[in-house]
Homo-oligomer: A and B are copies of this chain.
Amino acid sequence: MATQEWSIQEIARVAGTTSRTLRHYDDVGLLAPSRVGSNGYRYYDQRCLVRLQRILLLRELGLGLPAIADVLDGERDSAAALAVHLEWLCQERDRIERQIASVTTTLRKLEGGEQIMATEAFDGFDHTQYKDEVIERWGKDAWERGDNWWRSLSDKDKREFQQRQYDIAADFAAAHKQGKAADSDDVQAIAQRQYDWIAIGWQGKRPTADEFVGLGQLYVDDPRFTAHYDRHGEGTAAFIRDAMATYAERTLR
């Protein structure tokens, strides 16, 4: 007979799902039983089975329940719904691919013995958060010059620029840890690299002695910079400030 009926468990087994899922579909209005007994039991007929199979098919394709409802109730073309969903899936895939790439490079660095938390941290470096300070200290022209330059860089160049800074900071921290003095020749050599690095960012306009000293002081005064440098070891920011001050006095005046 075409008027065949199944209990909730039976239809769940037949369709390859669970009774809980069917109750859920009933709750959200996606699939109501064809009949409900006076005892509250749910019973499903052929039409329900067909609808259920369609639901499960679309679910396997990854569609959400509201989208499935729209399709099955004819309020939305299935092709259109699937096309939208496909877009979604591709974005998700891309996102995951990017994460895989990030995790892979991080793992390689870890294997190479590098401390994590370094370059990557600077990766998400948002230079615009310093906009107001830069304008206040050095003027609007300086900001715009630097901003334009930064935007002109490729991702690779940006990373390399940051990597150089990371290496310099790491060397400062190592020297500090070894007990070297901020005015020692070794440390002053690092300060020289720091000066050159800044000159690059300033687009050739080499900092004056006062500007260089002020910048070093900023590393200590501004918590964002302090946190950044102290990541290499406590007191690194202050050590760098001292080294920069010495460099300014000895070399820039």
Contacts and interface: CB of A to CB of B under 8 A. Distances in A.
A163 to B, nearest CB: 8
Contacts of A249: none
A54 B231 CA distance: 10
B235 A2 contact: yes
**DSSP majority for the A interface?**
helix
Contacts of A181: none
B121 A107 contact: no
Contacts of A149: 1
B86 A103 contact: yes
B106 A61 contact: yes
Given A96-B93, A120-B57, A50 B231 contact: yes
Nearest to A160: B50
A83 interface: yes
B82 A89 contact: no
Contacts of A227: 14, 46, 49-50, 53
A226 interface: yes
Contacts of A197: 14
Question: What interface size band does chain A fall in?
Answer: 35 or more
A160 B126 CA distance: 58
B61 A2 contact: no
A98 to B, nearest CB: 10
A53 B106 contact: no
B121 A57 contact: yes
Contacts of A16: 124, 126, 189, 193
Contacts of A231: 50, 53
Contacts of A111: 79
Interface string A87-118: 00110110011011011101100110000110
The 3 closest A-B pairs by CB, nearest first: A49-B227, A14-B196, A79-B110
